[in-house]
Amino acid sequence: MVPSRPSQTAEAVCFMRATEQARPQAARILDDPYAAAFLGPLSRAALGLGRRSPLAVGAGVVPQLTTYILCRHRLIDDALVAALARAEDRVEQVVVLGAGYDARAWRFADALAGRPVFEVDFPATQARKERILRGLDLPEVDVRRVPIDFQVDALGAVLAKAGFVPGRPTFFVWEGVSMYLRREAVVGTLETLHALGGPGSTLAMDFWFVLDDPGMTATFHRATASLLSLLGEPITFALHPEEAPHFCARHGWQVRDLADAAELARRYVRDGRRVYPANAVLIATPSSTAASPTT
Ligand SMILES: C[S@@+](CC[C@H](N)C(=O)[O-])C[C@H]1O[C@@H](n2cnc3c(N)ncnc32)[C@H](O)[C@@H]1O
């Protein structure tokens, strides 16, 4: 990650979301009508060229990754909308960690019904997003931009400055970020979120893991993950789905839903697309006991 320039992986996953708009509605995993607005000239041109573009060819090398990105966004969309609608959770605020070009604040403006959305990210990505948003016709929402470097800054302190109320029911989105952090930052974030959110809170996050199959396909997946280092955004944190519930429980969160590639495909794919197998998504709620000390 190069903190001084807008995140390239944020634009890459936004590109993947934008490509879905070209599919017939019935086959779409996700509807993100705002995604295309955040694309730079290159990716916008690529989107226009469709299948003939170099980016689409690149995406064709790892089409399963695109399908995964769409499925994880969809699962988190569904969890957010369900939590906002559940009267017993009384969700009062939403925090999107490493928000990138996440457009849920506007896509779900009605369901949010005025609840604040705290978008937390590096300032460079936020500044670019802000600039683009100024040119769009958007529903009225309470979005608060919170600049941070997760590896350096104290999340609780920066959120409090933006008006976040600790101890209240909060929906935390932590999508496409944990894999870029060091283990201690992931642990620290889980424990901080546990301390910040009150009963009724939910955490939605995804994570990457090493495929232990020695075959060519898994070797290719391991190699493509390493290529992200070339964008300055190396993958550094891995968590196997089998270990995720125990890991989350140690740091304050009880896993309620865990979807790997097969489960994501079962839930959301209607046209035979395959899902990149080295990631999973989980939804968790705070454990009643406090997080154990960092180990
Ligand atoms: C792959 S993008 C995901 C963006 C968004 N969550 C989505 O799924 O569309 C990763 C995001 O995490 C942010 N990020 C990564 N490491 C960070 C750090 N140490 N501090 C703040 N933001 C960070 C990047 O700026 C980027 O917006």
**Which atom of ligand 1 is found nearest the CA of 153?**
20
Distance from Cα 137 to the centre of ligand 1, integer Å: 25
Tell me, yes or no, whether 31 lies in a domain: no
**Which residues on neighbouring strands pair with residue 144, listed in sequence order?**
118
Tell me, yes or no, whether 44 lies in a domain: no
- Residue pLDDT, tens place only, 68-92: 999 999 999 999 999 999 988 899 9
Pair 98, 90: CB distance under 8 Å: no
Tell me, yes or no, whether 294 lies in a domain: no
Pocket of ligand 1 (CB under 6 A): 1, 7, 9-10, 13-14, 98-102, 121-122, 125, 148-151, 175-177, 180
| Averaged pLDDT for residues 208-215 | 92
Q: What CATH number did the domain enclosing 144 receive?
A: 3.40.50.150
Task: Answer whether 0.85 is exceeded by the pTM.
Answer: yes
In 3D space, the residue among 27, 86, 67 whose CA is nearest the CA of residue 283 turns out to be: 86
Cα distances from 262 to residues 68, 200, 257, 276, 281, in angstroms, run 10, 29, 14, 9, 12
**Which atom of ligand 1 is found nearest the CA of 72?**
8
DSSP letters spanning 5-66: S--HHHHHHHHHHHHGGGS-GGG-S---TTGGGG--HHHHHHHHHGGGSHHHHHHHHSHHHH
pLDDT score of 3 more than 80:
no
The Cα–Cα gap between 294 and 191 comes to: 8
The Cα–Cα gap between 33 and 228 comes to: 27
Range of the domain at 200: 63-286
Tell me, yes or no, whether 177 lies in a domain: yes
Distance from Cα 225 to the centre of ligand 1, integer Å: 16
Pair 198, 168: CB distance under 8 Å: yes
Tell me, yes or no, whether 21 lies in a domain: no
- Residue pLDDT, tens place only, 43-71: 888 777 765 555 544 444 468 889 999 99
**Which atom of ligand 1 is found nearest the CA of 101?**
9
Tell me, yes or no, whether 32 lies in a domain: no
Distance from Cα 214 to the centre of ligand 1, integer Å: 30
Tell me, yes or no, whether 247 lies in a domain: yes
- DSSP tag of 291: P
Q: How many domains does the chain have?
A: 1
The Cα–Cα gap between 113 and 227 comes to: 41
**Which atom of ligand 1 is found nearest the CA of 174?**
6
Distance from Cα 122 to the centre of ligand 1, integer Å: 7
Tell me, yes or no, whether 153 lies in a domain: yes
